[in-house]
Amino acid sequence: MSDDVMQGLLFAGFGDQPAVDDRVADTELRLCTININRPSPGRAQRLADWLAATGCNAIVLTEVQAGPACDLIRTTLDAHGYLLQTAPGWRDQRFHTIVAAKGFRLDAVEPPGFDPRITAVDLSSAGGTIRLVGVYAPTNGMTPDSSQRRRAFQQQFTAYLADIFHPRLCVTGDLNVVEPGHRPHLPNFEDHDYAFYRGLLNLGLQDAYRNCHPDGTDHSWISPRFGSQRLDHALLADSSALSSCVYDHAPRLQELTDHSALQLVAGLTG
């Protein structure tokens, strides 16, 4: 059975269900993470409709830019009952990350991240609290300046996570790095990119996709020129309640964005 078919079986019905009600958050986290690739208003509406139909009770959107398309997505999610959080200063920066949640109490983590690319929240319900950190790390521009910016961000972000570490921490988003041993090998990534990934694991986080698929070969961004890459990740401090983690390629295949979505399900109780 192909990965795409298996993925469809695992998440069959997500698009047919109404948005989750408050009771779902008492039992499980249903997370969708997706890089929305700076959509036009027209594409943003289609993407917002797709997001609202997923049945997820937590959504992390990366590569978001302030403007009409962003406002449309925020308005649509708000209309479906999601609470939204962004980091301070998000309107004044080129990119930011949005966290949306339904069925949870949503509280901003203090201190906030050092860049609006990072949005950290505590999601609380009867099942406990999950600290969710959404991030859009700088892209690999394949220049010395790009490398320096990425390295500085990676080091600051790792230090920030160490400062706000939580037993039920979930870090997710477009990290713009691949794991060591990624297939295919991608020569444009540098030692500090792999060190960043290893550093997250050294904090005590586990790669949710790799946990569920030890030999999986999914990619979240497809490039004939630069090599297909698994750039979008979810890493958990506690994976004991993790039941599934898959890439949903429908948004990319439907040209809603150029990335696949990552979808994760984990229990909240026990």
SS3 sequence of 201-234: HHCCCEEHHHHHCCCCCCCCECCCCCCCECCEEE
The two tokens of residue 86 are 């962004």
Phi and psi, residue 61, nearest 5°: -110, 125
In a domain, 3, yes or no: no
- Give yes or no for residue 2 having a pLDDT over 80: no
For residue 131, the domain's CATH number is 3.60.10.10
In a domain, 8, yes or no: no
* Count of domains observed in the chain: 1
- CB 129: neighbour CB atoms within 10 A? 16
The two tokens of residue 50 are 């797709």
What pTM does this model have?
0.89
In a domain, 20, yes or no: no
> How large a percentage of the chain has pLDDT more than 90?
77
d(C-alpha 153, C-alpha 209), whole Å: 24
Phi and psi, residue 10, nearest 5°: -65, -35
In this predicted structure, what is the pLDDT of residue 10? 32
In this predicted structure, what is the pLDDT of residue 225? 74
By C-alpha distance, which of 130, 125, 119, 8 is closest to 62?
Answer: 119
- Average pLDDT value for residue range 160-175: 98
Domain of 109? 27-267
In a domain, 165, yes or no: yes
pLDDT band with cut points at 50, 70 and 90 for residue 19: very low
In a domain, 212, yes or no: yes
In a domain, 100, yes or no: yes
In this predicted structure, what is the pLDDT of residue 142? 72
In this predicted structure, what is the pLDDT of residue 228? 86
The two tokens of residue 52 are 């609202």
- Give yes or no for residue 145 having a pLDDT over 60: yes
Can the peptide bond before residue 184 be classed as cis, meaning omega within 30 degrees of 0? Answer: yes
In this predicted structure, what is the pLDDT of residue 11? 33
d(C-alpha 12, C-alpha 235), whole Å: 24
Q: Which residue has the tokens 């929305």?
A: 36
- Give yes or no for residue 25 having a pLDDT over 70: no
Phi and psi, residue 162, nearest 5°: -60, -35
Burial 196-205 (b: 16+ CB within 10 A, else e): bbebbeeeeb
Phi and psi, residue 50, nearest 5°: -65, -45
- Give yes or no for residue 200 having a pLDDT over 60: yes
The two tokens of residue 205 are 């986080």
- Average pLDDT value for residue range 67-85: 96
Does 91 or 14 have the greater pLDDT score? 91
Q: Which tens digit of pLDDT belongs to each residue from 124-139?
A: 998 899 999 999 999 8
Q: Which tens digit of pLDDT belongs to each residue from 214-261?
A: 999 999 988 877 778 999 999 999 999 999 999 999 999 999 999 999
In this predicted structure, what is the pLDDT of residue 9? 29
- Give yes or no for residue 4 having a pLDDT over 70: no
In a domain, 15, yes or no: no
In a domain, 179, yes or no: yes
Helix H, strand E, coil C: the string for 104-139 is CEEEECCCCCCCCCEEEEEEEECCEEEEEEEEECCC
Q: Which tens digit of pLDDT belongs to each residue from 205-216?
A: 999 999 999 999
